[in-house]
């Protein structure tokens, strides 16, 4: 297969500078497959929107190139790129009805009237607003207006839709409902979506793959489960999900594993994911649910004493904050099981984990 049929979008060595000095996007290489739901996730200012705007054609590319279906986008004006777009505050035309707003991109493409009516009806149905075609945007709630914006981005059936924090202005419940709707729409029509958000749970919910951005660099590009279960560096481990960090120094490496001397005392065996040699600093990353309380003798090579500082009952699990190796912000999730120990603040328990769940990551980046 040619590169053209493999990927709908390719960023090739893309750089962006606004002031001619600092790069806000640094050597970005990213291939996006046809039909993929790809999310750019990262803190504010990490360069996500800039990447989307370069793809849309609203920002110039300082260096490198972006290909759409194998064609360089240099010298292709935005309106010729056939890309749908939804932004947080996507302005619908206030003086037009919802149906007129949806018909607009089709009329400007000079489609026949009956075809326009059909496509508008289908787009309204897709976002469950069939009964609202004759209203004006001002007569709709925020969530409904954003659905119209989604329908308008899809109505001319583009192969690619870009969405920049489209749910940012909605309240939590509506946002979660819309996440499922967007995913459902994506699955049912097979459009490629490039989605930008700083909200990790939103990214985990909807995406096929997530590109985690920090300071204009993709830190890791992977599926949601890989990002959570197999973070490749300390930034990703800390940014995605809840994470316990133990700082230390590598004292021995042996194949896939390494031994780490924790600051504050104690020796830990860990998975050597991304480390320097003996003597270098490392951050150990450990998910709260990977820690076992009161493990059976001989089951965990990594065993510590933990003092319970705080305890929150959450129904299906209990959340503990414990003091381990002089770190008092260590979190453990204890699932509710019939043989779970009775836990109280002030107690000291043995805790442990498997070396394979404890990831040693470079502490210098």
Mark residue 13 as left, alpha or beta (left: phi above 0; alpha: psi -120 to 50; beta: remaining).
left
Kindly report the three-state secondary structure assignment for every residue of 293-358: ECCCCCCCCEEEEEEEEEEEECCCEEEEEEEECCEEEEEEEEECCCCCCCCCCCCEEEEEECHHHC
Q: Which is nearer to ligand ADP, 46 or 283 (CB)?
A: 46
214 binds Mg ion, rule: CB under 5 A: no
207 binds ligand ADP, rule: CB under 6 A: no
The binding track of 1-30 with respect to ligand ADP, each residue x by CB under 6 A or -, is -----------------x-----x------
d(CA 91, CA 145): 9
Partner interacting with residue 18 (select from Mg ion, ligand ADP, none; CB below 5-8 Å by kind)? ligand ADP
Of positions 11, 14, 38, 48, contacts ligand ADP by CB under 6 A: 48
Q: Which is nearer to Mg ion, 42 or 137 (CB)?
A: 42
Contact 299, 355 (CB under 8 A): no
Q: Give the HSE-up count for residue 208: Cα atoms under 13 Å, Cβ half-sphere.
A: 15
Of positions 8, 30, 38, 47, contacts ligand ADP by CB under 6 A: 47
**Strand arrangement of the beta sheet that strand 71-72 belongs to:** 25-33, 7-16, 63-68, 71-72
Partner interacting with residue 58 (select from Mg ion, ligand ADP, none; CB below 5-8 Å by kind)? none
Nearest alpha carbon to residue 101 among 147, 166, 41 = 147
241 binds ligand ADP, rule: CB under 6 A: no
Of positions 11, 32, 50, 191, contacts ligand ADP by CB under 6 A: 50
What's the closest the beta carbon of residue 215 comes to ligand ADP, in angstroms? 9
The binding track of 30-69 with respect to Mg ion, each residue x by CB under 5 A or -, is -------------------x--------------------
Q: Which is nearer to ligand ADP, 49 or 192 (CB)?
A: 49
d(CA 51, CA 85): 14
Residue nearest to Mg ion (CB): 49
What's the closest the beta carbon of residue 42 comes to ligand ADP, in angstroms? 6
Nearest alpha carbon to residue 246 among 285, 298, 275, 194 = 285
Partner interacting with residue 180 (select from Mg ion, ligand ADP, none; CB below 5-8 Å by kind)? none
d(CA 197, CA 252): 40
42 binds ligand ADP, rule: CB under 6 A: yes
| Options 39-47, 101-109, 118-126, 356-364: segment touching ligand ADP (CB under 6 A) | 39-47
What's the closest the beta carbon of residue 39 comes to Mg ion, in angstroms? 13
Q: Which is nearer to ligand ADP, 42 or 166 (CB)?
A: 42
Q: Which is nearer to Mg ion, 49 or 179 (CB)?
A: 49
Q: What is the dihedral of CA 37, 43, 46, 50, to 10 degrees?
A: 50
Q: Which residues are 312's β-sheet partners?
A: 319
* Burial of 76 per CB tally in 10 Å (0-12, 13-18, 19+): middle
150 binds ligand ADP, rule: CB under 6 A: no
What's the closest the beta carbon of residue 66 comes to ligand ADP, in angstroms? 15
101 binds Mg ion, rule: CB under 5 A: no
Q: Which is nearer to ligand ADP, 44 or 225 (CB)?
A: 44
What's the closest the beta carbon of residue 44 comes to ligand ADP, in angstroms? 4
Q: Which helix (H) or strand (E) holds 44?
A: none
Nearest alpha carbon to residue 166 among 192, 195, 188 = 195
d(CA 103, CA 82): 16
Residues that bind ligand ADP (CB under 6 A): 18, 24, 42, 44-50
């Amino acid at each position: 297969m040619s590169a053209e049929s493999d990927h709908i979008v390719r960023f090739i060595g893309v750089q962006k500078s606004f002031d001619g000095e600092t790069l806000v996007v640094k050597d970005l290489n990213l291939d996006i497959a046809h039909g993929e739901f790809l999310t750019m996730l990262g803190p504010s200012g990490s360069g996500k929107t800039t990447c989307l705007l370069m793809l849309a054609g609203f920002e110039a590319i300082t260096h490198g190139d972006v290909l759409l279906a194998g064609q360089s986008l240099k010298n292709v004006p935005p309106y010729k790129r056939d890309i749908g777009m939804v932004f947080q505050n996507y302005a619908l035309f206030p003086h037009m009805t919802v149906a007129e707003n949806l018909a607009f991109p089709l009329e400007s493409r000079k489609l026949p009237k009956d075809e326009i009516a059909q496509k508008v009806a289908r787009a309204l149905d897709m976002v469950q607003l069939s009964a609202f075609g004759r209203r004006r945007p001002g007569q709709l709630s925020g969530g409904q207006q954003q659905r119209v914006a989604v329908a308008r981005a899809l109505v001319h059936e583009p192969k690619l839709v870009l969405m920049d924090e489209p749910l940012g202005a909605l309240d939590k419940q509506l946002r979660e409902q819309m996440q499922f709707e967007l995913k459902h729409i994506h699955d049912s029509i097979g459009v490629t979506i490039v989605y930008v958000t700083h909200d990790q749970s939103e990214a985990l919910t909807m995406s096929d793959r997530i590109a985690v951005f920090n300071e204009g660099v993709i830190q890791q590009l992977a599926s949601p489960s890989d990002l959570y279960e197999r973070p490749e560096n300390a930034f990703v481990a800390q940014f995605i999900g809840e994470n316990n960090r133990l700082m230390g120094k590598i004292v021995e490496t042996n194949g896939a594993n390494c031994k780490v001397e924790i600051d504050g005392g104690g020796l830990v065996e860990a998975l050597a994911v991304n480390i320097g040699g003996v003597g270098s600093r490392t951050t150990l990353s450990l998910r709260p649910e990977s820690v076992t309380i009161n493990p059976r003798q001989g089951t965990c090579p990594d065993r510590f004493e933990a003092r319970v500082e705080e305890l929150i009952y959450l129904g299906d699990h209990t959340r503990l904050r414990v003091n381990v190796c002089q770190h008092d912000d260590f979190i453990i999730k204890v699932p509710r099981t019939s043989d779970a120990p009775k836990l109280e603040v002030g107690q000291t328990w043995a805790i442990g984990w498997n070396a394979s769940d404890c990831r040693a990551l470079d502490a210098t980046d």
